[in-house]
Chain A
Amino acid sequence: MIKKIITLFLILIPINSYALIEVDITRGNLDPLPVAVSPLSIDEKSRKGFEKALKKNNIGEEISRIVENNLRTSGLFNPLSKEAFLQAPDIANLKPRFEDWNLIKAQALITGKVNYVDDKLRVEFRLWDVLAAKEMMALAFTTVPTNWRRVGHIISDKVYERLTGEKGYFDTRIIYVAEEGPKTQRIKKLSIMDQDGYNNKFLTLGNELVLTPRFNPTSQMVTYLSYFKNLPRVYLLDIETGTQEVVGDFPGMTFAPRFSPDGKKIIMSFAKDGKSDIYTMDLENRIVERITNHPSIDTSPSYSPDGNYITFNSDRSGYQQIYIMKSDGSDVKRISFGNGLYGTPVWSPRGDLIAFTKLHKGKFYIGVMRTDGKGERLLTENYYQEAPSWSPNGRVLIFYRETKTNDKGEGFTAKLWSIDLTGYNERQIKTPTDASDPSWSSLLSN
């Protein structure tokens, strides 16, 4: 639906493909690339059109601010102050005077123009290599004006991809649990927002406890746990229509749901008689399959991106550890052997890593290890944090953190945080209320 609204096409394909500027994202970037984001130029007629349609005075400037903010929060880029810009936006988009941009130490320049045409928003933008004095990319697309924030995110993704060689993650959304009220009686609602915290929307009213929402691969469905009628069960929600249904007919609690990478199955735990095992349900034919059968607690299952393997968390060794197995439940192997307890394993979209939560000596860590359990790297330590979720390009993890209360039991908060795979660039994601259990969508446009 969303995808169809946006038509994307190349205006020019630069033929000279030899190496221009490049950003290395595989190490902590202590030296972000200086980039100038010129406001998108806009003519008077278009300005008036958008003013009427969106109640925004200068949409070109607002979109460029979205781009700047995205690039800055990635930690890889340093958007320069607009006050130092010498060239007007419309002229810069035609032919930048590279000496001027060089003077303010910009290495990359983004220019563009936005038009109001037949009640549509048409944007074109260009990415320039200042030092080489060359155009690196030019793109144009048309969409409905209300999608203007997404326009900023798509431009950011294209720039990120051109400069790093990897897909971006800006035109994405986060589904999470919004929390309010005292710690002993929290009210929780499903909530969805853009990756940068804008366009927040509550999807449930808070009448029943809801936990652990996760997107399907197309990001239009969500599976989550709801205590509707005090029966904790896995549910399926269609975001567009608001339709909800319970997943499967289990005589007890189902929890810890996730979609398979093809979106056709839901994998989850079913708890009965003090043991929790992993099951799948096919969403088309409703066939339920049992994957593990062990007297222990087996939970937090997550598929590998090719769907051939499942990583999960089990206490069959006596304590919570991470395991992998084939997707039919055979060949179970323990992969975590470090000190402490390991939980919430999530397979990276790139397939090579598993992110996890670790509890050791009273501290909680978010970390990653290879799928054979080797190469464990702890990215962040805190009083309480858990449940990492990968950005669609596998470069950033989002998770939630809870604070310690004081002697009177006051001061509890729950917030969303993100950190780069490198262990750098840790930042809080602002939400209107307290928040937990974040899940990152796929890229909405490609």
Chain B
Amino acid sequence: MILSKIFKNTLLLLTACLVLSACATKKEIATDIEGSMQGDVYTGTDTVKYLAEGVPDRVFFATNESILTTASRETLRAQAAWLRKNSGINVVLEGHADERGTREYNLALGERRANAAKDYLMTYGISSDRITVLSYGKERPVDSGSNPLSWSKNRRSVTVKAN
């Protein structure tokens, strides 16, 4: 069981790496806006809150994607470590999309993003009983701007303490 999970995870990581490296060449042309986007994934810290010292509460996604970036996986590993230490805490993973999609598809996309984060936390030993997934689609942006940087901040999965 655990073995198969680890195997699945490695596979997931591998495919993620492959996809990312494939995308990198394509998206390098897209200029980084004020150094806070890579491709079109937000890399800044503007909107980020912290569950604890060194434990960011959110990860960001590329347009229409739910693949975790290297930075996202690092964030989620920190969250998993923190959750292991605080075994009494449960979390809600709130998945969001930017405003450049249809409402219903975005609800599904938000759910898919939050689940990508959930799967990763689970492979680092966090029980699914402690995690609830909640999609908001495009309904709750953090940034009300209509530009690529604002949209990148809104494509996110946020880990929120449930108790």
Contact = CB atoms under 8 A, between A and B. Distances in A.
Q: Answer yes or no: are A and B bound together in one complex.
A: yes
Interface of A: 182-186, 209, 211-212, 225, 230, 232, 252-253, 255-256, 269, 271, 273-276, 297, 299-300, 313, 315, 319-320, 341, 343-344, 357, 359, 362, 383-384, 386-387, 402, 404-405, 407, 409-410, 412, 436-437
Contacts of B144: 182-184, 405, 409-410, 412
Contacts of A407: 145
Contacts of B103: 211-212, 386-387, 436-437
B108 A269 contact: yes
Nearest to A344: B102
Contacts of B150: 409
A313 B115 contact: no
Interface string B36-75: 0000000000000000000000000000101000000000
B16 interface: no
A275 B104 contact: no
A255 B104 contact: yes
B52 to A, nearest CB: 24
A225 to B, nearest CB: 8
A107 to B, nearest CB: 43
B152 to A, nearest CB: 14
B139 A275 contact: no
B108 A297 contact: yes
A182 B145 CA distance: 12
Contacts of A409: 143-146, 150
B116 A274 contact: yes
Contacts of B119: 274
Interface of B: 64, 66, 99-105, 107-109, 111-112, 115-116, 119, 133-135, 139-146, 150
A343 B101 contact: yes
Task: List 10 tightest A-B contacts by C-beta distance, closest first.
Answer: A274-B115, A409-B144, A343-B102, A183-B144, A276-B108, A404-B146, A297-B108, A271-B111, A274-B112, A256-B104
A269 B140 CA distance: 21
Given A299-B107, A437-B103, 11 more contacts: A183-B144, A212-B103, A225-B107, A253-B135, A271-B112, A274-B119, A297-B109, A300-B104, A405-B146, A409-B144, A436-B103
Contacts of B139: 186, 209, 211
A367 to B, nearest CB: 13
> Which of B101, B102, B141 has the most CB atoms of chain A within a 10 A radius of its CB?
B102
A313 B134 contact: no
Contact of B99 (A182, A230, A362, A384): A384
Nearest to A231: B134
A276 B111 contact: yes
Contacts of A357: 102
Given A184-B140, A209-B139, A274 B102 contact: no
A274 B104 contact: no
A232 B134 contact: yes
B105 A297 contact: yes
A211 B145 CA distance: 22
A320 B150 CA distance: 23
B140 A185 contact: yes
B135 A271 contact: yes
Contacts of A255: 104, 107-108
A425 B99 CA distance: 27
Nearest to A211: B103
Contacts of A299: 104-105, 107-108
B116 A183 contact: no
A253 B111 contact: yes
A62 B134 CA distance: 50
A271 B104 contact: no
A402 B98 CA distance: 13
> Which of A274, A276, A412, A436 has the most CB atoms of chain B within a 10 A radius of its CB?
A274
Given A271-B107, A274-B116, A275-B112, A387 B145 contact: no
